[in-house]
Structure 1
Amino acid sequence: MTAMPPEMPPPPGDHPRETPGQTSDGAPDHRRVGRALDLFDTDPLMGAGLPYWLPDGATVRHTLEEYVRDLERRAGYRHVYSPVLGKRELYEISGHWSHYSDDMFPPMELGGEQVVLRPSLCPHHALIYRSRTHSYRELPLRIAELGGMYRAERSGVLGGLTRVRSIQLNDAHIFCTPEQAAEEAYGALELIGRAYAALGIRPVRHRLSLPGPGGTGGTGASYVAGPEGMWERAAGVLREALERAGVAYEAEEGEAAFYGPKIDVQIADGAGREATLSTVQVDFHQPERFGLRYIGADGARHRPVMVHRSVIGSMERAMAHLIEVHGGAFPAWLAPTQLTVLPVSAAELAPAAELVRRATDQGVRAELSGPEHGTLGARIRGGRLVPYQTVIGAREAAAGQVALRLRDGRRVPGLPVEELLGRMGGVIAGRTTALWEGAEGK
């Protein structure tokens, strides 16, 4: 992950609740916005770089996770689970121990063996692939996991959700023939673009990350040597994918993974600081190290290529960026509360509660905000980030119709409850950044 400036989150107790925070230049700051909206927090007893999620934040994150899993399933991925621990020997084989151990937590002695918290999921997925015999007819085999990994980040670089020690990564590894690698890398770029459109994310640039002057192979080298021509072949595959996708990119030395070049999709926060969110990598190294094979059409054994890709990167960094991009006003499908029902007085509590029940039964995240929470005006202002609000007065209760006020100020005229909930459900199921179609202006 790309380093962020050494900024620490505000101490516990310094939690503004009324107005989401901004940076000094007026840009939303996810650390303050997230706390102001009760999305996440930290505690010294848990430790730096180990945030926890509050109910609203957990709802947004869970919805994001399910969206990505569904996106992957539709693209032919199969999901797995693998443990967050592994023997030290596993990471010696993968190359992480010799090239990445400074960023790993120290080994733990367990039954005469050393085990470590994994810094990456790829060695585990290589073992999952190796556990079965594969034919060329099965390839490409796409294995995905939303899994935990751990990195011993220095205290000085930790900050909010952008740089943490416990990471939940949207990760996948595609095992394919060399001829399929460019197509799979291109498919990963398309998947990233689709997710960004649904989430309202705009990348600032695409970077082709190549090895630096440290060289490959040899004692103290920053990058593995691998089979002859490995680096050039892998970079060629990524260039082909970028050019087919019509994506402008900048090649930069010194930013590659230790085992291969990669495409980094770069985002920027409100202050203009860049970070990597999504990646596509081509790896000839780990298939060689783990002895991965497939049976070709000729009946002989061949070495697959391993394409690493992450559609939205870590949940933590993705959430930080979404909080800042939307200032807490998430797209309707992602919002923690999608509909707030506001009865004018206690007399309308029963029909308002019934509307909340019916909306919830149809999969809409609805909440009741009754008179005990303040005046109607105060309740409307308090729900200003909720995509949909409806006020239930005596007239609405008698008519059995519901009118909506959208977050952007537009209004949807009164409709029968079932019709309104059906239309709302359709907008939410569409998973776009649109709030509504056909609503009246302010």
Structure 2
Amino acid sequence: MTFARETAMHDHRRLGRELGLFDTDPLMGAGLPYWLPDGAVVRHTLEEYVREAERAAGYRHVYSPVLGKRELYEISGHWEHYSDDMFPPMRLGAEQVLLRPSLCPHHALIYRSRSRSYRELPYRMAELGGMYRSELSGVLGGLTRVRAIQLNDAHIFCTLDQAVDEARAALALIARAYEDLGIRAARYRLSLPGASGKYVAGPALWERATAMLREVLSGVAYEAAEGEAAFYGPKIDVQIADAAGRESTLSTVQIDLHQPERFDLHYIGPDGARHRPVMVHRSIIGSVERAVAHLIEQHGGAFPAWLAPVQLVVLPVGEAQADLAYDVVRQARELGLRAEVAGPEGGSLAARIRQARLVPYQAVLGEREAEGGLVAVRLRDGRRPGAMPVAELLRRAGQQVAARGSRLWEDA
């Protein structure tokens, strides 16, 4: 098989449509894909994984509006340094409002909505929220570059002494998520400012933030890249690569000494005085759209069992076993597994097995199995654990799904 053909086979745009995960419509517009039921399952499962990982790490979740007054983004610096990538303002009476290009200004407002003590820090605030970028039509493609983005975002407000440890802990969260999702990082990049005028002034703040990120990366192989920083501060970018070797950024960790000053954020220290916090921006999986696109290509549609749209398919050999097959599916769903029946109306047993090739667990139900209360188990990777009681299959499959790892099956 040629490299070009292999790359095309793993293109998420082709696979995503073939597998019924997402699609587009000209009336919705370019860069605005919609999620089909199986794709919505993958997205929802991924979002729940991230929320649970964040809760376990001490994050508090919030919701914030996708609109903000122009003044908000003037304060944050987005209007001055990032307006070319923002949608134009909408007029509401005497005011102008914008679709937000980022969640951080909203989180800064939530932080400053009440007085904060040093005892509350680090204060970890997370949100899976929408943001919008006015991307040119020529760079849009599938789920990797879109105009409406669901971002796994978080901001940690902490003391200067806590910032390195918090950024390092965020990097560890990213590494754990990659392991569970089967994602391989291509490289780590320390993104620094360039010579253009898109970056905020303040050489001392840039140097301090950069020094802290270098400390975070101690012991990690990385490359520095000028001109790739956020306009308000340096960042660690976790790079991924597609089947063609093209790199993109999935996850980030940033240290921001600029916006806390712009929004006059503070906390009350042990001395009773006001002190300026550091704002650590971090995203475990970046945008949900780009994460799913990469997972489609990384796994060729054969997602880890816990993430698969359908986790178990029951295949009755004939109509005589159909009712029993639906009963197995009912039991599986009651245990939280996503299960379906692929009945004989779908063709021969061999054809149905081929059609279900991406489903992690296949349970064949013939006359002999039905009489013995068993199912013949087949795994997606070709292994055949053999016939076993329905309860045993559901228990073992359920354990693997609950573990949220990359393993498909554990031998008894």
The question of a shared fold, defined as TM-score above 0.5 by the shorter chain, is answered with: yes
Contact 1:25–1:271 at 8 Å: present in 2 too?
A: no
Give the drift of 1:296: 0.5
Q: Structure 1 residue 401: deviation in Å?
A: 1.9
CA RMSD, 1 decimal: 1.1
* Structure 1 Cα separation of the partners of residues 140 and 155 of structure 2: 28
Determine helix, strand or coil for the equivalent of 2:331.
helix
Does structure 1 retain, via aligned residues, the 8 Å contact 2:400–2:408? yes
Q: Work out the CA distance in 1 between the residues paired with 2:195 and 2:91.
A: 37
- Answer with 187-196 or 417-426: which moved more: 417-426
Among 211, 214, 234, the residue aligned to 1:236: 211
Structure 2 residue aligned with 1:270: 243
| Map of 2:402 onto structure 1 | 429
SS at match of 1:411: coil
Gaps of 5+ in 2: none
Q: Which residue of 1 aligns with 2:296?
A: 323
1:291 and 2:271 correspond: no
Q: Tell me the secondary structure at the aligned position of residue 49 of structure 1.
A: coil
Q: TM-score when scaled to structure 2?
A: 0.98
CA distance in 1, matches of 2:371, 2:326: 15
The runs of 5 or more residues in structure 1 that have no matched partner are 1-21, 215-220
Q: Distance in 2 between matches of 1:201 and 1:43?
A: 30
Match of 1:63? 45
Q: 2:198 aligns with which of 210, 222, 226?
A: 222
Q: 2:205 is matched by which residue type in structure 1?
A: M
C-alpha distance in 2 between matches for 1:111 and 1:74: 44
* Match among 16, 24, 27 for residue 4 of structure 2: 24
Distance, in Å, in 1 between the alignment partners of 2:267 and 2:385 is: 57
Distance between the aligned counterparts of 1:413 and 1:271, measured in 2? 39
TM alignment of 1:306-385, pairs within 5 A: 306-385=279-358
> Which residue identity is paired with 1:76?
G
1:209, 1:252 within 8 Å by CA — same for their partners in 2? yes
1:401 partnered with 2:381:
no
Counterpart residue identity of residue 96, structure 1 = H
Shift of 1:402: 2.4
Contact 1:284 1:306 in 2 (8 A): yes
**Partner-residue secondary structure (3-state), 1:330:** coil
Aligned residues, how many? 409
CA distance in 1, matches of 2:64, 2:171: 25
Report percent identity of matched pairs: 74
Displacement after TM superposition at 1:23 (Å): 7.6
Report the residue type matching 1:222 in the other structure. K
**Displacement after TM superposition at 1:25 (Å):** 4.1
Cα distance in 1 for residues equivalent to 2:349 and 2:186: 42
The superposition leaves residues 10-50 of structure 1 with CA deviations (integer Å, 9 ceiling, x where unpaired) of xxxxxxxxxxxx98241210000101111100000000000
Aligned residue runs from structure 1 range 2-401, under 5 A: 24-27=4-7, 28-214=10-196, 221-226=197-202, 229-243=204-218, 246-401=219-374
Residue 404 of structure 1 deviates from its aligned partner by 1.2
TM-score normalised according to structure 1 size: 0.91
Rounded Cα–Cα distance in structure 1 between residues aligned with 2:130 and 2:87: 14
Instruction: Determine the C-alpha separation between the residues in 2 that align with 1:266 and 1:52.
Output: 26
Q: Is the 8 A contact 1:344 1:391 kept in 2?
A: yes
Distance 1:404 1:334 in 2: 20
